[in-house]
Amino acid sequence: MRTRLLGRTGRQVTALGFGAMRLPTVEINGEPHLDQDLGVELLRDGFTRGITYVDTAWGYGHRESQLVVGKALAGWRDRVTVSTKLPTWLVKATADCRRFLEQQLTELAVDRIDIYHLHGLSVKQWEEVVQPLGLLAELTRARDEGLIGHLAFSSHDTPGNIIRLIDLGFAESLLCQYNLLDQRNAPAIAHAHARGLGVVVMGPVGGGRLGVPSPALAALIPGGIRSTPEIALRFVLANPAVDVALSGMSTPAQVAENCAVAERPEALSAAELAQVEAAIAETKRLADLYCTGCDYCLPCPQGVKISQAFQVFNLHRVYGLDAPARKIYGELKPECRADACVACGTCEPKCPQRIGIRRQLAEVAEFFATDG
């Protein structure tokens, strides 16, 4: 399997990382738990096929992911780079930091966590939690003691704020979202890479949105791919600034398919990449003609999240991703959905795209009212 240098951590890791956030679950006494035996089997299948980077977190898998990863690591520890994360939002006092770290070392059954992330770090959290509580000094001390190999952060903040966090200079690796449909973090990823940080990407298949067949996406490389996840993963791995693509694998078939993709000598040829980028740019242009997501039309007196409703509808309209669109739409609060529009018209004069918002929302509502 192809390997890459994880920036200035100096660690050589496989381009495909095992994200331990979607391990198989089982119900015990009406409560969801991880199926520990299946999870261990799946992780070891990945290690056997060559994966040398595993990522977990305090809260993943009903708080059981770290335990399962710890069990799976028996016999593999020396070959696998272990990553987990400080649940920054749960840290209320300086001493909490060491308490979480020690428990994580116990759960993972390791004496060192190779890559330790501040989980979901934002500039606000840096200013309001990390700095006032002196967490960086705590983590540096833990690193000096050998409990942590390298400091890192994951973030869902804006690309500009991720760049600000990179420029603070404490992190040796960055973990952020990036995929075919959402390339907003491309500048932050390029910046991290240029500054010598390792770059690990989560959600290469769009948090599952690209994990289902999409004829529109499959057609990007005619005859050249077997599935949407394949093109999604190959697209991420074709970015030279990305060191590791984390995939949250739940089944042996996903492990086999992703490993096969990561074993290709090159993710995409230059011609294939150009073709994919042109096709994505064109579909994005079509989607933007529809709605750019500027939100100038808000607030809606009824609370309708106009651009969100359009974006979700675009998963169906532009990419043919109907099941994910229905799932995401179903998760919106009722007052945010298209059918909450009372057609008052307040929003339309504010839209620079001159979109017939009322008409379009009616179309969205009609689509999602059917069972599919």
Where along the sequence are the contacts to ligand SF4 (CB under 6 A)?
291-297, 300-302, 304, 306-307, 341-347, 350-351, 353, 355, 357-358, 361
Nearer to ligand SF4, 16 or 347 (CB): 347
When the beta carbons of 165 and 347 are compared against ligand SF4, the nearer one is: 347
Rounded CA-CA distance 22/54 in Å is 13
3-state secondary structure of 244: strand
CB closer to ligand SF4, 161 vs 346: 346
The DSSP bridge pattern shows strands 3-5 and 12-14 to be antiparallel
Give 3-state DSSP helix, strand, coil % of the chain, rounded to 5. 50, 15, 35
Nearer to ligand SF4, 140 or 346 (CB): 346
CB 216 within 8 Å of CB 283: yes
| Gap between the Cα atoms of 90 and 182, Å rounded | 28
Residue with Cβ nearer ligand SF4 (62 or 350):
350
CB of 298 to ligand SF4, least distance (A): 7
**What is the chain's alpha carbon radius of gyration, rounded to the nearest angstrom?**
22
Closest distance between ligand SF4 and the C-beta of residue 251, in Å? 37
Determine contact, residues 242/201, Cβ cutoff 8 Å.
Answer: yes
* Cβ–Cβ under 8 Å, residues 16 and 80: no
Burial 257-268 (b: 16+ CB within 10 A, else e): bbbebbeeeebb
In this structure, what token pair is assigned to residue 85?
A: 């994360």
Question: Is the Cβ of residue 130 or residue 361 nearer to ligand SF4 in the bound state?
Answer: 361
| Amino acid identity for residue 318 in this structure | V
Count of C-beta atoms within a 10 Å radius of residue 365: 17
Tell me the closest approach of the beta carbon of residue 207 to ligand SF4, in angstroms.
22
Which lies closer to ligand SF4 via its Cβ, residue 237 or residue 361? Answer: 361
- In the complex, minimum distance from the CB of residue 362 to ligand SF4, in angstroms, rounded to a whole number: 9
Beta-sheet pairing, 31-34 with 25-28: antiparallel
